[in-house]
Amino acid sequence: MNHACRATYSVGETLVDCSKCGHLLDIAYDWSRVPVPGSLKQFESRWSSRRNPLDFSGVWRFRELLPFAKDEQIVTIGEGQTILQSSAGVGKYAGFQTGKLLLQYEGLNPSGSFKDNGMTAASTHAHMVGAKVAACASTGNTSASLAIYSSTTRLFETIVFIGSGKISFGKLSQALDYGAKTLQIQGDFDDALRQVRDVCAARGIYLCNSVNPFRLEGQKSIMFRVLEGLNWEVPDWIVVPGGNLGNSSAFGKAFTELKELGLINRIPRLAVINASGSNTLYQLFEQHKIRWNSGKFDEAKINGFFTQMDSDNRRASTLATAIEINRPVNLLKCLRALEVCDGVVREVSDELVLEAKAQIGAGGFGCEPASAASVAGAKLLREQGVISPSDRVVCILTGHQLKDPTATVAYHSVDPALLSAAATEDDAYATMLRKAGVTQTPAANRPIVVENKFESIMQLLDRLSL
Ligand code: F0G
């Protein structure tokens, strides 16, 4: 995807970066050879043939828009049954007019996160090239997703590389339960990704991180379903958490292609939200003003940024562990998406992420911390006047609440007094939250301790007027 390098490779190859220019590869189609429907509405006809697994899949029912595989090669486990929801409470919290803030709830996927949209496509390609072993590095969701595809289809074995310490138990338990060989690298996600890339190259193992361009093809479908949820109308804004920047890159590609194909008449704006403890994109885009610039990006400045990061030994740190990433591999593709979508980037603190998460939960849509960065970011952009209260905004809820129960329980149960600067005592939750800079929990729903006595419970209910 280097603008100057026109090297092409066939769909049967398993490269992730270009052997000529070293940048990541992009999937390009000759649309004149694909029977793309004349309007997006025509995809609705597939709703009546949902017994066909390809029409049932929320990814492959749009298969003409990611036409790299033959129907019989497609590997699907029913991913993408996700919906666009509105929550009056969450919309009000973020400062929007009723019905204007919508939540694309990707936690409903088989492994509980948006990753399945991409993993069905990567698994399909792995199957096409006859891969016997697949691997990924992960903050937890990619590994859960790869592991579920491997265990349900039995097409390949799986090795997952995770950093030590930070992975949430929900996600770790999935990789273990689905039978993936799980390697805990003594390092963080950025280290694990570097290792898995080298190991895959050395051993000929199929790599399933979002450096794999087929992953992004599948993730385009999240935007197709958003449009479907809006009766094929284009929203004003898409707001998405940014980690390794695969989603944002895929969304930009989806809209670019839909516009080129004449299937939409305008492209929504894109807001990518970093956690402030892992804010490489925010720093590069908003502070150093790095732009895609039609492919003529300032590579020396980007390299200088990472060299400085290494020499300062700066490590990502956030309670939104899914996006605890300092070296986003899809940085350039994301810069391109930001250009196409007239995008913005913001950072949000862990305190605001957890508050937004509790509000989303109270609205009935449990999500994990990283996902709530989208709503926290939409709220911030509303307060800054970048997004108007009447704009139609779609926040992507990337992962399910049960992925990371520890963060949720810590937020709701911690004694607020232990978070104040004057606190002298501590407990495990307070330590965890204070380390992340959380000083208050205004949206907490604290459990109430009560004696194991009928009268005491009744008295409590009286006090609570229940
Ligand atoms: N939200 C969740 C729940 C995630 O798991 C991730 C990434 C992101 C957001 C960020 O998405 O990378 O496309 O910008 N998780 C990866 C993993 C890194 O290993 O599971 P992105």
Ordered DSSP codes for 78-137: S----EEEE-HHHHHHHT--TT-EEEEEGGGSTTSBTHHHHHHHHHHHHHHTT-SEEEEE
**Cα distances (Å, whole numbers) of residue 301 to 285, 310, 313, 397:** 11, 14, 18, 32
Pure H helices in 312-453: 331-340, 350-362, 369-383, 405-413, 428-435
Position 5 confidence tier, pLDDT thresholds 50, 70, 90: confident
Tell me: the pLDDT tens digits for 150-202? Answer: 999 999 999 999 987 779 999 999 999 999 999 999 999 999 999 999 999 99
The answer, yes or no, to whether any atom of ligand 1 lies below 6 A from the CB of 116, is no
Domain count, the chain: 1
The answer to the question of residue 136 being in a domain is no
Per-residue pLDDT, 216: 98
Q: What is the mean pLDDT of residues 241-260?
A: 98
pLDDT of residue 15: 85
pLDDT band at 422 (very low <50, low <70, confident <90, very high): confident
**The amino acid at 69:** A
Q: Which two tokens stand for residue 304?
A: 């200088």
Question: Which tokens belong to 206?
Answer: 């199929």
Residue 246, domain member (yes or no): yes
**Domain carrying residue 262:** 83-111+216-406
Other beta carbons less than 10 A from residue 212's beta carbon: 26
Range 251-262 average pLDDT: 98
- Pocket lining: 140 vs ligand 1, CB cutoff 6 Å: yes
Residue 292: the pLDDT is: 98
Range in 23-27, 51-55, 100-104, 341-345 with the lowest mean pLDDT = 23-27
Q: How confident is the model at residue 420 (pLDDT cuts 50, 70, 90)?
A: confident
Question: Which atom of ligand 1 is least distant from the CA of 171?
Answer: 20
| β-sheet bridge partners, residue 345 | 272
Q: Is the pLDDT of residue 254 over 60?
A: yes
Ligand 1: centre distance to CA 460 (Å): 42
Average pLDDT over residues 401-418: 96
Q: Chain-wide mean pLDDT for the chain?
A: 96
Q: Which of 335, 319, 327, 309 is nearest to 275 (CA)?
A: 319
Residue 144: HSE in the Cβ half-sphere, 13 Å Cα cutoff: 27
Tens digits of residue pLDDT in 52-67: 999 999 999 999 999 9
Ligand 1 centroid to Cα of residue 219, in Å, is: 12
Q: Is 247 in the pocket of ligand 1 (CB under 6 A)?
A: yes
List the structure tokens of 130: 């006859």
CB-ligand 1 contact for 126 (6 Å cutoff): no
Q: Is 149 within a domain?
A: no
- CA atoms of 57 and 398, how far apart (whole Å): 18
- Of the pLDDT bands very low, low, confident and very high (cuts 50, 70, 90), residue 233 is very high
What local confidence, expressed as pLDDT, does residue 19 receive? Answer: 87
Q: Rounded distance, CA 377 to CA 393, Å? A: 11
Binned at pLDDT 50, 70 and 90, residue 1 comes out as low
Question: Looking at the predicted structure, is the pLDDT value of residue 329 above 70?
Answer: yes
Q: How close is the Cα of 13 to the center of ligand 1, in Å?
A: 26
Q: Is the dihedral angle over the CA atoms 293, 298, 303, 306 positive or is it negative?
A: negative
* CA 244 to ligand 1 center in whole angstroms: 6
Q: Which residue's alpha carbon is at the smallest distance from atom 6 of ligand 1?
A: 322
Q: Is 294 within a domain?
A: yes
139 Cβ closer than 6 Å to some ligand 1 atom: yes
Q: How far is the CA of 215 from the centre of ligand 1 (A)?
A: 12
CA of 326 to the centre of ligand 1 (A): 12
pLDDT digits (tens, 9 = 90+) for 136-151: 999 999 999 999 999 9
Class of residue 463 by CB neighbours under 10 A (exposed 0-12, middle 13-18, buried 19+): exposed
Residue 211 within a domain? no
Ligand 1 centroid to Cα of residue 277, in Å, is 15
Amino acid at 396: I
pLDDT at position 71 is 98
Confirm or reject: Cβ of 112 under 6 Å from ligand 1.
no
CA distance 309 to 301: 12
Which of 141, 208, 374 has most ligand 1 atoms within 8 Å of CB, for mutation?
Answer: 141
At 2, is the pLDDT very low, low, confident or very high (cuts 50, 70, 90)?
low
Q: Per-residue pLDDT tens for 62-97?
A: 999 999 999 999 999 999 999 999 999 999 999 999
Q: Which residue's alpha carbon is nearest to atom 12 within ligand 1?
A: 244
pLDDT value at position 116? Answer: 98
Closest CA to 214 of 302, 132, 147, 122: 122
**Rounded (5°) CA angle 378-239-342:** 105
Q: Which residue has the tokens 């649309």?
A: 31
Q: Whole-angstrom Cα distance, residue 267 to residue 389? A: 19
In a domain, 75, yes or no: no
Does 320 reside within a domain?
yes
CA distance 229 to 83: 7
Tens digits of residue pLDDT in 448-457: 999 999 999 9
Output the six-digit token pair for 95. Answer: 């400062």
pTM for this predicted structure: 0.97
d(CA 328, CA 7): 23
Q: Taking residues 7-28, what's their average pLDDT? A: 91
CATH assignment of the domain containing 87? 3.40.50.1100
Contact 268, 251 (CB under 8 A): no
Whether 33 has a pLDDT exceeding 80, the answer reads yes
User: Is residue 339 a part of any domain in this protein?
Assistant: yes
Which atom of ligand 1 is nearest to 145's Cα? Answer: 20
Q: Whose CA is nearest to atom 15 of ligand 1?
A: 322
Q: Above 80 in pLDDT, residue 256? A: yes
Q: Is the pLDDT of residue 4 over 80?
A: no
Q: Which pLDDT belongs to residue 3? A: 60
Q: What angle do CA 178, 130, 10 make, to 5 degrees?
A: 125
Cβ(371) to ligand 1 under 6 A? yes
The neighbouring-strand residues paired with 136 are 160
Indicate the pLDDT class of residue 424, thresholds 50, 70 and 90: confident
